[in-house]
Amino acid sequence: MRADRRVGGRAESFHRSSLPSFRQVFGWILLGAATVYTAALVMVLIVSQQDQRRPVDAIVVLGAAQYNGRPSPVLRARLNHALHLYREGHAPRIIVTGGMGRGDTTSEATVGRRFLVSHGVSSEAVIVQAQGRSTQASMTAVGEWLEHERLNRVLLVSDPFHMFRLRMEARRTNLEAYTSPTEDSPISDNPVLELRYLFAEGFKIPVAWFRAAVSPLTSHSQSL
């Protein structure tokens, strides 16, 4: 009887020791999270250096802040870059995005259109998509408009740190998307500020990966 108890006690002790401790599980979780974050950050850095300008159906400019109808320095840099690409002949149209913030009386997209038209772009060549206040919402609106027009190839314009996530969202809506980051953004000119945005993207990318895995979009009509 005592022998049975000893054997049973040893078996129970062995079973308990074979299970990972809370500290081990927590360590694995931290290691996994750090690996995912590092992978995301590496991809952000790689794509931020890629300029894939080429002939496309449309140049897409991601919105940024505007002040009383005037583009902020960040938005102006994006618009100037899109204007340069347009003049190089990479696309016959420019799509400007960005909705209205709290207290605004006009949208970022509308301000972008005014800027481009004032710099010689035909008003018919500038398409306003002001529905979105996020990268995901803006790209969904752009994708739906392009699908309606039977167009698909886009050249995305934004700050370098933004390009990887932006391309992810564009391709998630079934667009053939290429990137052309701004070359003189005020954010890029401030190393400390740029690092803050880069590190923030490291957290946003895994969320975008998870969302794409849970609810992938293969057609704009599926999202309606």
Task: Tell me which residue of 83, 78, 81, 88 sits closest to 54, measured CA to CA.
Answer: 88
> Predicted confidence band at 223 (pLDDT cuts at 50, 70, 90)?
very low
pLDDT digits (tens, 9 = 90+) for 91-144: 999 999 999 877 778 999 999 999 999 999 999 999 999 987 889 899 999 999
Is the pLDDT score of 220 beyond 80? Answer: no
In this predicted structure, what is the pLDDT of residue 120? 96
CATH architecture of the domain with range 48-223: 3-Layer(aba) Sandwich (3.40)
Say yes or no to pLDDT of 14 above 70: no
DSSP string for residues in 153-171: EEEEES-GGGHHHHHHHHH
Structure confidence at residue 211 as a pLDDT band (50, 70, 90): confident
pLDDT over 80 (residue 82): yes
Where does residue 79 rank: exposed (0-12), middle (13-18), buried (19+ CB within 10 A)? buried
- Please report, for the chain, the start and end positions of each structural domain, with discontinuous segments joined by +: 48-223
